[in-house]
Amino acid sequence: MEATATTHSTEAHTGAPRILDREPLVLNNRSYSWITNRICGIVENKQPLLWWVLFVPSVLLTLLTVFCFTYLISTGVGVWGQKQPVAWAWDITNFVFWIGIGHAGTLISAILFLTRQKWRTSVNRAAEAMTIFAVMCAGLFPAFHVGRVWMVWFLAPIPNANAVWQNFKSPLLWDVFAVSTYFTVSAVFWFLGLVPDLATLRDRCKPGLRKTLYGIFSLGWRGANRHWSHYETAYMLLAALSTPLVLSVHSVVSFDFATSIVPGWHTTIFPPYFVAGAIFGGFAMVLTLMIPVSKIYGLGDLITPKHIDNMAKIILLTGTIVGYAYCMEFFIAYYGANKYELQTFQLRGLYGPSTWAYYFMFGFNVFAPQLFWYRPFRHNLWVVMFVCMCVNAGMWFERYVIIATTLERHLTPGSWRVYEATWVDKYTFLGTFGLFMMLFLLFLRFLPVIAIGEVKGVLPQSNAHASDHDEKGIQEEDLMNYPDRHVAKTVA
């Protein structure tokens, strides 16, 4: 058995299956208490200067959004640039953009959980937080788009005057249900994941207001295995519920367009194309946030090059799917022989008034991620950040192209008009970035940015059978899920 143990070390490899040599998920053999101290330290210590440098402008930008919405309410929706025929413009573009950002969070927390991708543990907490904040930003736009925002409760299924109920046959109402369910379930998922880590913070605090608050929100958690047993089942169930949910949300968002008869919107490829795009844009935003967070707070041992590499690969995959969808839209417009649709696509991509937006979209979303085919680029943080910034911008342009430029050239030339955004449009959108950043920075300040309990669970020493085996590679495997893997010891 001694001999087989050495065959698995990288120096003395003698043909044993290399699949057991896995990159560690936490570098430098960190201990449990190191992880606790490092992550709780972010909350407990003073924030670095950079936090304040980012926080103050974020608050100011948030106030800008508040001002713009106040101005909008007091003056009227006409302060936005949309008129007939472009009745949906930046507002719905921003809505779809922000909703899409949220999807990566749910993908990491739910789909990667169900597929046992353990590298998710270091990034899922921040990604879920990002989901919730992005959906909050998204919700503002349709709420104000309805015109009389104080009537927005009409969207809720409550019988209002004259027994008029909501039109449940409308994709716009499906959207209300999809987005509000998405927000609620994401929040429940996030909170449930936070409970054990809030208990960690509670146990480290001195008595006082903070301890009381962490105490209340950690619900009296005491890490009992009889609790963990139910808890893990609950977590798994929420992941299983969130997976179809996240796919449905952006599909429903795409129904807003796809169920219409407007050329350029009436497309069956929209649901999968929107979902892929959302995951694509969301992952770019996760990296945009997590790379600086990792650098500023010294979390390099937990958010390793492997994590960034994996996420870059997902961006490459989804970006390529999105590229396929762009091409397929064109092909179907040609092949479908609907002259209005063909005209729409020709105007979009070839000679229309807003082709510049189409080129931005295509370049940022399809060409930029192709850099990730080359491994050193996936490991160079500057390149990764550059591509992510391209994708963030590109995905906004994608929604703009679909929504606004389609409406600019409608069926009849009589209803043609090029859309121009007003300063209110621009500052409101800019301000939501402030809101998003402000919420994220407050999250960093008060809550554990990495799921402490989950990261500890993927350490090699957390395997109850670690001492039963000589081989390093097997210890990292989750033996309890695969009892027959015990025999792997003798195979080599």
Is 486 a residue that touches another protein (CB under 8 A)? no
Region from 41-49, 56-64, 232-240, 337-345 binding another protein, contact rule CB under 8 A: 232-240
* Cβ neighbour number for residue 3 with a 10 Å cutoff: 10
Region from 13-21, 160-168, 294-302, 366-374 binding another protein, contact rule CB under 8 A: 160-168
**Closest distance to another protein from the beta carbon of 327 (Å):** 29
**Which whole-number Å values give the CA distances from 451 to 212, 224, 261, 331, in the listed order?**
21, 18, 46, 45
Q: 185, 289, 407, 488: which one contacts another protein (CB under 8 A)?
A: 185
Q: 50, 418, 480, 491: which one contacts another protein (CB under 8 A)?
A: 480
Q: How far apart are CA 306 and CA 309, in angstroms?
A: 5
Which CB atom, from 53 or from 464, has the smaller least distance to another protein?
464
**Closest distance to another protein from the beta carbon of 337 (Å):** 25
Is 173 a residue that touches another protein (CB under 8 A)? yes
Residues 282-321 that bind another protein (CB under 8 A): none
Is 200 a residue that touches another protein (CB under 8 A)? yes
Is 113 a residue that touches another protein (CB under 8 A)? no
Which CB atom, from 335 or from 482, has the smaller least distance to another protein?
482
**Closest distance to another protein from the beta carbon of 179 (Å):** 9
Nearest Cα to Cα of residue 88 among 252, 262, 247, 248? 262
Site string for another protein, 7-46 (x = CB under 8 A): ------------------------xxx--x----------
Nearest Cα to Cα of residue 415 among 84, 83, 80, 81? 84
Is 147 a residue that touches another protein (CB under 8 A)? no
Q: 199, 276, 293, 308: which one contacts another protein (CB under 8 A)?
A: 199
Q: How far apart are CA 438 and CA 248, in angstroms?
A: 29
Question: How deeply is 118 buried, as exposed, middle or buried, from its count of CB atoms within 10 A (0-12, 13-18, 19+)?
Answer: middle
Nearest Cα to Cα of residue 264 among 404, 81, 94, 393? 404
**Closest distance to another protein from the beta carbon of 260 (Å):** 10
Instruction: Classify residue 12 by its DSSP letter.
Output: T
CB 110 within 8 A of CB 246: yes
Residues 410-429 that bind another protein (CB under 8 A): none
In the three-class reduction of DSSP (H, G, I as helix; E, B as strand; rest coil), residue 392 is classed as: helix
Q: How far apart are CA 185 and CA 152, in angstroms?
A: 21
Is 219 a residue that touches another protein (CB under 8 A)? yes
